[in-house]
Each structure stands twice: as C-alpha cells, then as structure tokens.
Amino acid sequence: MNPELPPVAPDVVASAVEGLTSRLRKKLDATIASYAALPVVVDGAVRRVRCGEATEVALTPGASGSVTDADQVVCSCLLAPRCLHRAAVLGACPLADPEAEAETAGDSGSPGDSETVADAGPEAAPILDSGASPTTGPGASPTTGPGASPTTGPGASPTTGPGASPTTGPGASSTAVPGGSRTADPAGSPTGVSAAAPTAEAVTEAGEVVSLTEAQRAAASELWAAAAALLTAGVPAAGAVPQAELLRAAHTARLAGLHRAEAAALRVVRGLRGARARQDGHRLADLVAQVRELLLTTALLGAQAPGPALIGTARRAYRPGGSLRVHGVCSEPVIAATGYSGVVTHVVSDDGRWYSVADVKPGGPARAQGAATATVALGSGNLDHAQLSRGGLLISGATVSSDGRLGSGKGVRATPLPGGSWTSGPLAALFERPLAEAVAERLGAAPDADPEHTEQAARELVGCDLILVGAVGDHLIARELPAGRPDTEGILMRLAPAADHPALTHTANFRRLASRPGLRLRVVGRLDPDRAATLRPLAVAPLPGTEATLRLPAEWQGHADLGYNRLEGSHFPPPDVVGAAALPAADGRSDEAPDPLAQAPLWRLRRLVEVAVSGGRRAVAEPARDGDLRGDGAALRRGGFPTAADLAAGLTAEADRRTRDVFGRTGGADPDRYARAWLAAAVYLAGVERALVQATWQPTAARS
C-alpha cells in the first residue's frame, strides 16, 4: 500500500478488479507492487499517479477523505475504466473503514446518537504495535477453555472446544454439543453428533427473536466461500483477485446488515496485504486469528439464526449515564496501525466501574506525544488529559458507550475535581482485591458470551502491588504482594511494555526498572490474554509502608504514566535500600514465571494451523504424505492432548484429499470441507491456549 494515496471503499476496489480481463488479472499483483512505489502528486483535493509516459490516474476523494464511488477514480488511457492502471492504483490504496464519514466526524455522545465502529480501530485497541497482543474490536471471536464449546447465543452449537466437535460451514447440519461423542465424517475430520437442526429463529437472553433474511443467508454463504478459497490458496496465492472476491462478499454482507462479518472480512484483507508486503507490524498469529474469526462468524451465521452479537452493529450507540463522579487513574498514548493516534485517559467511578475519555484522531507519533496536554473535550471541563489522569470530574448528564467511553454531547456538563491518591478512596480499592480474582473475572467469560463484551472485559485494567525480581530479555519478572496477606506467596508474572514505539517512553522506563530488582511498586496495567501470566503496565506508583519504592516528584501527584513520564535515577531509592528488601527465590526455584504454552506440545498443532494460512493447502498436506515422520500426533497424545492429535490428523488428511470422477481422474479439492477441518483445529487451539493462560494466573498453591 501507498500511504500517500487516499483510502478506497472495498466495493470500488472489487468492481475495478472484476472489470479486468483474465489476461490483465494475471498481471495485477506485479503491477500493484510497482505502482505502490510511484510518487503521488497532490493537486488540491485530487491525487494523481503517473503510470507511464502518457497515462495518469486521478483520484478525487469525497468530503470524508475516502474514495467511495467508482466515478472518483479516472484513468487517461483508452481502455478506462476497465484498465490495468486504474485497478492497480486502487489496489495500492489503503482500504477505507465502513462509514468513513462518521468515523472522522467526531462523536456527539448524546443519547440516541452513535458513532461508527472502525474496523480494528483505535478505540477498540488503543495500542497496536509489533509487541502488543493483538486485539480486535466488536466481533472478536470467543475462546474457551477445555471442556467447553464456544458458542454464541442460547442453543448455538457449531463450534469447537476441547472434547467437542469442529465447526461446520454455512448450511451444514452437523453441530457440536458439549460432552457429546466424537465420530468421523466421510471427509476424515471429526464431527459432533446429536444436534438439533438449524432453526429459522432464535430467542436471545433478553427474549428478543432474531431471524435471518434470505439476503443475509446468501451473504454469509458467499463470505464463507470466499474465505475458504483464500485459506486453500494461502498467503502466497492470495493476491489481488482473491482479495477482490472477498471484498465483494464483504460489501454484500454490509448491504445485508451483517456488520460483524463485514468487519472480519476487511481485517483479513488488511492482514493479507501486510503479510504479502512483509510489513514490520505484521504477525502471522494476528492473521490466523482474523481468518478464524471470519470463518467462525460465517459458519455460525449459516448454521443457525444468530443473536445480535453475531450480526453486529455498524455504529456504537451512547446511553444516558446520569451523574458520575470519576477519578483519574492514568493516561495511555495511542499509536494505532490504522493511522490514528492520540491519548486515552482511564478513570474509575466511586463504585469501581471503569470509564475512558479518548482523544484519538488521524495522525502520527507526534500527535500521540502531544495529546497528553490536549484539552479534554468533555462538557465544559477545562483541564487536559495529563491533569485528568491525576484529578477527577463531576459529570452531569453523562453519556456512555457500550465499551465505557464517555461521550461529549451538548447536554454533558463536567466540573474538575481535585485528584485522589492511590492509597485511599476508590483508587485504593483497586489494589485490595487478589489479582487471581480480578484475572478470573476478565478472562473467564462464558463460552456463549457476547464476544464484544468478552474482549472489553479482557482489556479492563487491573491493579496490584508487586516486587521486581529480575529481568529476562525485554520483560521484567515480578511477584505479587497480596494485600493484607504478608505470609502468602503471590503470583509470579511477567511485565511487558505496553508499546515499543521509540516515540514513547515505555521501553526506556522498563530499562530503568530492570536495574532495580527488589523494588516494590503499585501497578495499574492490562492483561495480555495471549501470553502466560503477562501484565502490560500503564502506570506505576510508590508502594506505601516501605522505603524500597519509587520517590516521584510532587508535580506527578503520586504516580507515573509509563507512556509519558520518564523515570530517572533520582526517582529510585538507594541501591542498598532496594537490595535489603529483595525477595529471595522460594525453595531454590527459578525466578522466571513458568510458561505452559511454551512447554506443552501444542506448538505442533499451532504450527500446522499457521502453515495452513501462510502456505496454503499444499503445505498442510505434506505431513499426510510422509506418514507423520516427525511424530507430531504421538507427541500430542503423550502430552495429554488426544483431541489435538485427532484434529491435526483430520486436517492433514483433508488437505491431501482429492476427488475423482467416474473415470478415476483426479478432480479439484473441496475448499469447504478443508475450511471446516481447519476451523475446528483453530478454534480448539485458541480455547486450550486461553485456558492455559488462565491457569498461569492462579497462585502457586492452587496450581500445584
């Protein structure tokens, strides 16, 4: 992609590719790669790209800054608009988010008003970088632990968990029931038994009846087929033409009102582009999760009538929140992969509920650095984000979105309040609860929970008191200091930087903290749901009652925001004081937190699932052809994961399966059956890994 080009609506890109002849389509990928490096001439609102001596493509974005109509892209060649120049330039443009006009217009925050939910936008995931755990916005797929079957809505069953059967595609009647027996279907992949046939209507927990229209069923089936074709091809063969087919299916889903499925499809296309371009921020694990979410969503849509969580929403609505008294906790800088930046300030109410105030707009690292001193756009308040993180607000007529964001509508009034200490009031209550209980609440969502609420709960901040034990690589090793229980051994955990962007101070502060083993801290941070016992701190404060803690300047008012405030040597106690308070390793055990994800043989199944996305079906078929010489199946069974071994064997067998006609000639592979086998393995893997992560947050006595 060329960031100088304007974002383009997915349907415009799809239409341009569909208009090419088969001969031109073969040249499209190479042409896009060459055009992405061409200079862009800015002529007022028009962006011009010269594709040759006598050929020029002009793009005229609308008021939103995005190209949303095919007539806004004009090529000067004789074959236009069905020409290679126009399609290649559009392929080099970034993809626009749905309803881009509403996305950049700001939020009113008034009751009944709403704002667009951007695809993987900054509000859903404030920090997106190569070191941060991938998160998704509304529509993230649920994961579960062993023995559960991830479902959506009452009665939903076509999903997979440990001991349950794999997901089926649109229209398939084979579904899974928790605890049901496992059999093998004709394709060789395990499937569940004894499930009710898909119904036309479903009753949600709120009693609402949801029914899919024929257009929605057709759109879900089209999305499934396009995603299955991409999975069969793999990243190397998933060029502009297969991506255009998925974009066309996403546009159809949008017209049909399947907003969650559309957002998932756009994330997959962006992930494929990043993988093919070898972008620095690309992670294969992210792309695997995106493909899993797309296939799971479309499978559930096609197998039964879903609840509102599966259909999704195009806009985030605000609801009246009445009067609120909130206290600032910390400010978090935002540098999002989607081109947004700014700040999110986290606040907590008197009753312990978390809220946030965001100032995130298009921009780069410089905007994130300066956003801390930007005025908070909330009612009539006249304080900036740095002051709010150390102060408070009394809000009347508050409006709150579903993810806890405070709106700034016309009826909202806010009065600044003096800041509170982390040692008293509602802020002190954050550190009185055992960390294991807080983690269980955030990571222990029910299998059939709304995935949007599941992701929101996982991202809610936690507070704890801890002592630094040492450093391993770019991580710190720390142990929890249970409040009021000095004789109890706390959880051993890793502390990882919330962001590793050089414009932010997270990494520099971690280096300072790593040089002070034995330092005692009060920390507020976010759990990493994809890594064993890993916390990403956002702010630190001195721990009361000890000399072996931080000594922050008075103007910081009791805590340091690790993304904005740089810790210096004068902020630490003398080395002799810290050394005397160091916590020795118990019973000679290692000071490094155990990582069951690295120790378990599940990496063998993870490698197979990732190879399927990165290399395609042919790469997955190799283990079936060599008779599993590496012994992956046997290793999984020895490690106590027989279901993983069965799913891996079923996936490789399906990857190597070919149909034959009546004359015995080899025919094409069935992408639908292969996608079902891959989805079963991927959902199972995500569920078991989440369960293992949850187990690492239990105290040592509970784990033993």
DSSP 522-580: EEEEEE-TTSTTEEEEEEEEEPTT-SSB----GGGTT-EETTTPPP-GGGS--HHHHHH
Spatial separation of the C-alpha atoms in residues 577 and 343, rounded to whole Å? 36
Average pLDDT of the segment spanning 471-478 = 87
Q: What is the pLDDT of residue 187?
A: 34
Spatial separation of the C-alpha atoms in residues 584 and 311, rounded to whole Å? 52
Better pLDDT: 562 or 621: 562
Q: What is the pLDDT of residue 6?
A: 87
**pLDDT tens, position by position, 278-319:** 887 788 988 999 999 999 989 988 776 667 778 877 666 778
Candidates 638, 531, 640; CA nearest to 595 is 531
Average pLDDT of the segment spanning 113-137 = 37
**pLDDT tens, position by position, 207-220:** 454 688 889 999 99
Residue 360: what residue type?
V
Q: Is the pLDDT of residue 569 over 80?
A: yes
Confidence of residue 88 (pLDDT cuts 50, 70, 90): very high
Average pLDDT of the segment spanning 628-633 = 76
Average pLDDT of the segment spanning 593-610 = 82
Q: What is the pLDDT of residue 118?
A: 35
- Tokens (6 digits) for 245: 């087919």
Spatial separation of the C-alpha atoms in residues 91 and 464, rounded to whole Å? 47
Q: What is the pLDDT of residue 622?
A: 78
Q: What is the pLDDT of residue 500?
A: 86
Integer angstrom CA distances of residue 528 from 86, 177, 455, 610: 43, 30, 11, 20
- Three-state DSSP at 335 gives strand
Q: Is the pLDDT of residue 111 over 60?
A: no
Q: What is the pLDDT of residue 598?
A: 72
Q: Is the pLDDT of residue 677 over 50?
A: yes
Torsion angle of the four alpha carbons 499, 505, 506, 509, in this order, in degrees rounded to the nearest 10: 170
Lowest mean pLDDT among 424-428, 443-447, 634-638: 443-447
Mean pLDDT across the chain: 78
Q: In sequence order, what are the beta bridge partners of 362?
A: 340
- Residue 571, C-beta contacts closer than 8 angstroms, at least 6 positions apart: 550, 551, 552, 553, 560
Q: Of the spans 86-95, 187-196, 377-386, which averages the highest pLDDT? A: 86-95
Percent of the chain residues topping a pLDDT of 90: 36
Question: DSSP class of residue 582?
Answer: P
Percent of the chain residues topping a pLDDT of 70: 76
Confidence of residue 375 (pLDDT cuts 50, 70, 90): confident
Q: What is the pLDDT of residue 76?
A: 92
**pLDDT tens, position by position, 265-284:** 999 999 999 899 888 778 89
Candidates 126, 215, 133, 222; CA nearest to 170 is 222
Average pLDDT of the segment spanning 413-429 = 87
Candidates 512, 672, 495, 479; CA nearest to 586 is 479
Candidates 234, 298, 233, 211; CA nearest to 262 is 298
Q: Is the pLDDT of residue 116 over 60?
A: no
Average pLDDT of the segment spanning 75-97 = 90
Task: Report residue 398 CA to chain centroid gap.
Answer: 28
Q: What is the pLDDT of residue 488?
A: 64
Q: What is the pLDDT of residue 228?
A: 94
Q: Own/partner pairs for 26-31, CB < 8 Å, 24+ apart?
A: 27/84, 28/84, 28/87, 28/88, 28/91, 28/239, 28/240, 28/241, 29/239, 29/240, 31/84, 31/88
Q: Is the pLDDT of residue 201 over 70?
A: no
Q: Is the pLDDT of residue 454 over 90?
A: no
Spatial separation of the C-alpha atoms in residues 182 and 165, rounded to whole Å? 6
Spatial separation of the C-alpha atoms in residues 301 and 171, rounded to whole Å? 9
**pLDDT tens, position by position, 4-59:** 888 899 999 999 999 999 999 999 999 999 998 889 988 888 999 999 888 999 99
Spatial separation of the C-alpha atoms in residues 272 and 206, rounded to whole Å? 38
Question: DSSP class of residue 372?
Answer: G
Q: Is the pLDDT of residue 96 over 80?
A: yes
Q: Is the pLDDT of residue 179 over 80?
A: no
